[in-house]
Amino acid sequence: MWSELPLFPEQASSVAGRVDLLYFFLVAVAGIFSVLIFSLVFFFAIRYRRRPGNMAAARIHGSTVLEVLWTVIPLGLTMVMFGWGSLLFLRNARTPPGSFEIYVVAKQWMWKIQHPEGLREINELHVPTGMPVRLVMTSEDVIHSFYVPAFRVKQDVLPGRYTSMWFQPTRAGKYHLFCAEYCGNQHSAMGGWVYVMEPAEYEKWLSGGSTGESMATTGQGLFERLGCSSCHRSEGGGRGPSLEGLLGKKVQLDSGQAVVADESYIRESILNPRAKIVGGYQPLMPTFQGQVSEEQLLQLVAYLKSLKKAERSTTQ
Amino acid sequence: MDNTMESESKIPEKRVDYLNVDHSLKSWLLTTDHKRIALLYLISITLFFFIGGIFAVMIRLELLTPSGNLVQAETYNRLFTMHGMMMIFFFLIPSIPAVLGNFLVPVMIGARDLAFPRLNLLSWYIFIIGGALAISAAVSGGVDTGWTFYTPYSSTYSNSHVIVMGLGIFIAGFSSILTGLNFMVTIHTMRAPGLTWFRLPLFIWAHYATSIIQILGTPVLAITIALVALERAFHVGIFDPALGGDPLLFQHLFWFYSHPAVYIMILPSLGVVSELIACFTRKRIFGYKVVAYSSIAIAVLGFLVWGHHMFVSGMSTYASLVFSILSFLVAVPSAIKVFNWTATLYKGSIVYDTPILYAFGFIGLFTMGGLTGLFLATLAIDVHVTDTYFVVAHFHYIMVGGALMGYLGGIHYWWPKITGRLYPEGWSKLAALLVFVGFNLTFFPQFILGYMGMPRRYYHYPPEFQALNVLSSAGASVLGVGYLIPVIYLLWSIKYGPAAGPNPFNAKGLEWQTQSPPITQNFETTPVVTEEAYDYSGEEGATVARS
């Protein structure tokens, strides 16, 4: 137990180094201020202790110059922290282009993971180095939080909506995956490992475990089985709008608003079709609440995304 | 002045004071004397503190080893939940205002009681009813939601006594509101002749600022708990998405109170520390007005930063930016206070009695707590360390390091006034030292654990975190001893301590101009104030005897 006393987590993602650099800056500022205040208190406490020759305090009411100084300097420093922290945060919030998606469904107390290729894992996530990975996540019950300390990333996973996060692993290895939001009895057992592999090895792993059917294919099967295709015809002209190339596009709504059709929009439109009606269409669609699981919803999303890719490849 | 003091302490104390005026139980339970009500609070919150402390001991014992072995996971979750709820709602929030504030606000402003004495008694009874419900929830099986009650876990999934506990906290909240209301009216209307706003002790300013938060913030907590109970009992969809609710709405409402609540705990402590530093350096607080205004600034800005608890919750990126910058702004008035206290020491004539040791300890721990708060306000860092032990360490530095050090310092400083007795200096200095050392040993390792990535509320943890956890548990045992010693010698001093006299520290302030313990009406005649607070200028040679 005492043989290793680690003081610092491993750096295994493209942002880890940047986060640590900012952390060191904060440690330095905090260190300097602590030392400054502690040594002043210590020095004054000894130098001005009550003793013969120092039986009465000097009368000092204040000093505007000093007070302005120690208001402005901390204010300036905190604004530097704010700026640096926010720029890095914004940068880390934007998914870089070329990322591929992995779908995560959390429940008490496990992480269910689906790769687009159809592979499924529980409490384990295999990813390659060198590529940005985007996780699209939701929860079946309470709030969880997906946390990989070695990547310096964390994102709460909520029931009823999608949240997403991304990371780009840089070093092969095995890293802790934790649930960081308290979720009940087995909260501390709701974790596992993220395996970061060299791309070649990852390909091998992927082909070794694949069940043959990709998420999009499973999603397509569902799309037909649930009867979605009878209204949402690919060539258009159905009772519902065509969904070809929909994801990521702006949609003009009945209400005059325009929204971006992201994963959450798709999810909402399946479970609560009347929430956002596309302009020019009737609110005819029935709800699929209770008929499709969170995992199936993600398969439908993956299928609709594949339509987007198909369209792109044909137009290009 | 010296002569009167000596002659007073020589006379065997047969004088009437608020304690010996009537010994019957009824005279205590139906009292409207703010000083007696303060003591009722003191006894009750000390009890809650030690109940919360027992939970903490169990937590630290369980965390000695990485695997769960002392208690079950279900039990562990109840332990940290009950520890948080007891300490926050039933100890820290009432601590300084309800005990020291209750005792001192009227005396410090030269009034004979609070504006609404019966309301004051009522708020104690409300507090006790709330506390009794909380304890009944604890003994009947406890609550396992964490003190934060996050939905939909608390409203739908938890199998524990959420509603009873919620009701307890809901009820106790009204005691806090009524106390704040009482203070605010009292400070506005009952100041002695000549006691202008800028002659008030900083303790009063701090309590005024605290009252603002108690009155405006606490009702929101009450509403939030009521909504959780509605959803839990009647499945009204408010927070649970399965019922059409929004779980983030809960977090917004909860932190809208619970972040300012941190200032309910820390502001009174800041006020106490100002009193201690002024008295034991024999100086007026450097930049008195700025320190007074910074209390109000903290109270107001404190309402605008709740979102910094939610940076990874799924809240919008731009909201996060706004809450981040506001959180940095609220750090500035806190920094100003620390600098002003430090500057007060300069060219002082510092007397080393126990209370100033707590004040020094406070400055150290509050500085560390404040500086690590900057880490958490920094968005990119918060993403990594939120919901880890870094946060646990940070808020213990503020709420225990800060608030509790101030409370203990204040208890020691005013103990001779409250009881008329002096406590043993040697023991009290030892206890102050143990608390400081034990506290740092307990919580400093948790900053490192947090950055390493250990999530909070973990019943078992990966083995590489064990060394730091053992260190933390070892520190906690030192801390525990540091908290127990004062209980023993303070109780001892009530019977065996030497008589204190009206002003054992030769302090300024109206509370020291009346006898110890004071009479029921506080003053024989209403005092008239002709000087600013902490005017130690004329005291050369006055205290030779003490040093």
Tens digits of per-residue pLDDT, A193-212?
A: 999 999 999 988 888 766 67
* Confidence at residue A5, expressed as pLDDT on a 0 to 100 scale: 58
Confidence bin at A237 (pLDDT 50/70/90): confident
Check pLDDT > 60 for residue A315.
no
Residue of chain B minimizing CA distance to A181: B387
Is residue B545 domain-resident?
no
Check pLDDT > 70 for residue B11.
no
Provide the pairing of β-strand A192-197 with A173-179: antiparallel
* Confidence at residue A2, expressed as pLDDT on a 0 to 100 scale: 46
Q: Does A24 touch chain B (CB under 8 A)?
A: no
User: Which residue is associated with the tokens 């947090």?
Assistant: B450
* Confidence at residue A254, expressed as pLDDT on a 0 to 100 scale: 85
Domain range enclosing A286:
227-315
Q: Which residues in chain A are closer than 8 Å to B324, comparing Cβ atoms? A: 82, 85-86, 89
User: Which residue is associated with the tokens 């037909």?
Assistant: A224
Check pLDDT > 50 for residue A316.
no
State the distance between the two ends of chain B, measured CA to CA, in whole angstroms: 17
- Residue finishing a domain among A212, A246, A267: A212
Contact present, A302 and A309 (Cβ < 8 Å): no
Q: B123: buried, middle or exposed (CB in 10 Å: 19+, 13-18, 0-12)?
A: buried
Say if residue A108 is in the same domain as residue A242. no
Mean pLDDT confidence for B239-245: 91
For residues B301, B304, B310, B311, the Cα torsion angle rounded to the nearest 10 degrees is -80
Check pLDDT > 60 for residue B490.
yes
Contact present, B237 and B229 (Cβ < 8 Å): no
Mean pLDDT confidence for B417-443: 96
Say if residue A109 is in the same domain as residue A2. yes
- Counted across chains A and B, CB pairs separated by less than 8 A come out at 286
Is residue B6 domain-resident?
no
Q: Does A65 touch chain B (CB under 8 A)?
A: no
Is residue B519 domain-resident?
no
Q: How far is A85 from chain B (nearest CA, A)?
A: 5
* Confidence at residue B539, expressed as pLDDT on a 0 to 100 scale: 64
* Residues paired with residue B393 on neighbouring β-strands, in sequence order: none
- When the pLDDT of each residue in chain B is averaged and rounded to a whole number, the result is 92
What is the CA B96 to chain-centroid distance, rounded?
5
State the Cα–Cα distance between residues B274 and A142, nearest whole angstrom: 45
State the Cα–Cα distance between residues A243 and A269, nearest whole angstrom: 12
Is residue B24 domain-resident?
no
Please choose, from the candidates B103, B33, B2, the residue with its C-alpha nearest in 3D space to the C-alpha of residue B502.
B2
Maximum average pLDDT range among A46-50, B20-24, B147-151: B147-151
Say if residue A161 is in the same domain as residue A197. yes
- Which tokens sit at A243? 């969904």
User: Which residue is associated with the tokens 């106790």?
Assistant: B172
Q: How far is A2 from chain B (nearest CA, A)?
A: 6
Check pLDDT > 90 for residue A286.
no
What tens digit of pLDDT does each residue of B355-413 get?
999 999 999 999 999 999 999 999 999 999 999 999 999 999 999 989 999 999 999 99
Say if residue A158 is in the same domain as residue A205. yes
Say if residue A146 is in the same domain as residue A179. yes
The DSSP letter of residue A192 is E
Check pLDDT > 90 for residue A236.
no
Say if residue A164 is in the same domain as residue A254. no
Q: Does B496 touch chain A (CB under 8 A)?
A: no
Q: Does B379 touch chain A (CB under 8 A)?
A: yes
* Confidence at residue B5, expressed as pLDDT on a 0 to 100 scale: 46
**Considering just the CA atoms, what is the radius of gyration of chain B in Å?**
23
Is residue B20 domain-resident?
no
Say if residue A243 is in the same domain as residue A205. no
Is residue A79 domain-resident?
no
- Residue finishing a domain among A212, A236, A261: A212
Say if residue A169 is in the same domain as residue A246. no
The SS3 of residue A135 is strand
State the Cα–Cα distance between residues B481 and B431, nearest whole angstrom: 8
| CB spacing of B317 vs A90 below 8 angstroms | yes
Q: Which residues in chain B are closer than 8 Å to A34, comparing Cβ atoms? A: 367-368, 371
C-alpha distances out from residue B310 to B201, B298, B522, Å: 37, 20, 47
Q: Which residues in chain A are closer than 8 Å to B74, comparing Cβ atoms? A: 185
* Phi and psi angles of residue B150, each rounded to the nearest 5 degrees, phi first: -55, 135
State the Cα–Cα distance between residues A200 and A290, nearest whole angstrom: 41
* Confidence at residue B474, expressed as pLDDT on a 0 to 100 scale: 96
State the Cα–Cα distance between residues B391 and B397, nearest whole angstrom: 10
- Which tokens sit at B482? 């540091």
Residues with Cβ within 8 Å of B71's Cβ and at least 6 positions away in sequence, in order, are B58, B62, B79
Is residue A12 domain-resident?
yes
CATH number for the domain spanning B295: value is 1.20.210.10
Is residue B343 domain-resident?
yes
* Confidence at residue B14, expressed as pLDDT on a 0 to 100 scale: 64
* Confidence at residue B47, expressed as pLDDT on a 0 to 100 scale: 96
State the Cα–Cα distance between residues B259 and B300, nearest whole angstrom: 12
Q: What is the total count of domains within chain A?
A: 2
- Which tokens sit at B504? 């054992």
Contact present, B225 and B197 (Cβ < 8 Å): no
- Which tokens sit at A128? 């390659």
A116 preceded by cis ω (within 30°)? no
- Percent helix / strand / coil, chain B, rounded to 5: 70, 0, 30
Confidence bin at B542 (pLDDT 50/70/90): very low
Contact present, B144 and B78 (Cβ < 8 Å): yes
Q: How far is B275 from chain A (nearest CA, A)?
A: 16
Say if residue A253 is in the same domain as residue A280. yes
Q: How far is B460 from chain A (nearest CA, A)?
A: 6
Q: Which residues in chain B are closer than 8 Å to A86, comparing Cβ atoms? A: 321, 324-325, 379-380
Say if residue A37 is in the same domain as residue A185. yes
Confidence bin at B545 (pLDDT 50/70/90): very low
Q: Does A76 touch chain B (CB under 8 A)?
A: no
Q: Does B455 touch chain A (CB under 8 A)?
A: yes
CATH number for the domain spanning A245: value is 1.10.760.10
* Phi and psi angles of residue A239, each rounded to the nearest 5 degrees, phi first: -70, -25
Residues with Cβ within 8 Å of B188's Cβ and at least 6 positions away in sequence, in order, are none
- Residue finishing a domain among A212, A237, A270: A212
Picking from A48, A84, A178, the nearest residue to B350 by CB comes out as A48
Say if residue A208 is in the same domain as residue A116. yes
Least confident of A161-175, A214-228, B155-169, B281-295: A214-228
Across B287-325, b (16+ Cβ under 10 Å) vs e yields bbebbbebbbbbbbbbbbbbbbbbbbbbbeeeebbebbb
CA atoms lying within 13 Å on the CB side of residue B442: 29
Q: Where are the alpha helices (DSSP H) in A198-293?
A: 199-209, 215-225, 228-231, 263-271
| CB spacing of A145 vs B387 below 8 angstroms | yes
Q: Which residues in chain A are closer than 8 Å to B474, comparing Cβ atoms? A: none
Question: Positive or negative CA dihedral for A214, A220, A221, A223?
Answer: positive
Is residue A4 domain-resident?
yes
Contact present, A162 and A142 (Cβ < 8 Å): no
Please choose, from the candidates A26, A147, A180, the residue with its C-alpha nearest in 3D space to the C-alpha of residue A88.
A26
Contact present, B309 and B394 (Cβ < 8 Å): no
The DSSP letter of residue B527 is -
Check pLDDT > 90 for residue A243.
no
The DSSP letter of residue A54 is B
What tens digit of pLDDT does each residue of B19-59 get?
988 889 999 999 999 999 999 999 999 999 999 999 999 99
Is residue A220 domain-resident?
no
Is residue B190 domain-resident?
yes
Q: Angle B545-B546-B547 (CA atoms, 0-180°, nearest 5)?
A: 100
Please choose, from the candidates B11, B143, B19, the residue with its C-alpha nearest in 3D space to the C-alpha of residue B74.
B143
- Which tokens sit at A286? 């029935």
Q: Is B146 left (phi over 0), alpha (psi -120 to 50) or beta?
A: left
Q: Does A200 touch chain B (CB under 8 A)?
A: no
| CB spacing of A143 vs B290 below 8 angstroms | no
The DSSP letter of residue B499 is B
Q: Which residues in chain A are closer than 8 Å to B332, comparing Cβ atoms? A: 71, 74-75, 78
* Confidence at residue B345, expressed as pLDDT on a 0 to 100 scale: 93
Q: What is the total count of domains within chain B?
A: 1
Contact present, B312 and A156 (Cβ < 8 Å): yes
State the Cα–Cα distance between residues B35 and B101, nearest whole angstrom: 10
A52 preceded by cis ω (within 30°)? no
Say if residue A150 is in the same domain as residue A4. yes
CATH number for the domain spanning A35: value is 2.60.40.420
Mean pLDDT confidence for A77-103: 92
Is residue B314 domain-resident?
yes
Domain range enclosing B195:
36-513
* Confidence at residue A233, expressed as pLDDT on a 0 to 100 scale: 82
Q: B528: buried, middle or exposed (CB in 10 Å: 19+, 13-18, 0-12)?
A: exposed
Relative orientation angle of helices B317-345 and B354-377, to the nearest 10 degrees: 150
* Confidence at residue A241, expressed as pLDDT on a 0 to 100 scale: 86
State the Cα–Cα distance between residues A71 and A64, nearest whole angstrom: 10
Contact present, B332 and A78 (Cβ < 8 Å): yes
Instruction: Provide the ipTM.
Output: 0.90
What tens digit of pLDDT does each residue of A140-172 get?
999 999 999 999 999 999 999 999 999 999 999
**Considering just the CA atoms, what is the radius of gyration of chain A in Å?**
27
What tens digit of pLDDT does each residue of B501-535 get?
999 999 999 999 999 999 999 999 999 999 989 98
Provide the pairing of β-strand A133-139 with A100-107: parallel
- Which tokens sit at B447? 């900053």
Give percent of chain B with pLDDT exceeding 90: 89
Q: Which residues in chain B are closer than 8 Å to A149, comparing Cβ atoms? A: 384, 452-453
Give percent of chain B with pLDDT exceeding 70: 96
Picking from A26, A88, A156, the nearest residue to B374 by CB comes out as A26
Check pLDDT > 80 for residue B238.
yes
Check pLDDT > 60 for residue A311.
no
State the Cα–Cα distance between residues B189 and B384, nearest whole angstrom: 49
Q: How far is B294 from chain A (nearest CA, A)?
A: 11
What tens digit of pLDDT does each residue of B440-462 get?
999 999 999 999 999 999 999 99
Confidence bin at A249 (pLDDT 50/70/90): confident
Check pLDDT > 70 for residue A1.
no
- Which tokens sit at A152? 């310096």
- Which tokens sit at A19? 């986060």
Q: Which amino acid is at B331?
A: A
State the Cα–Cα distance between residues B210 and A61, nearest whole angstrom: 25
* Confidence at residue A235, expressed as pLDDT on a 0 to 100 scale: 76
- Which tokens sit at B137? 């929830």
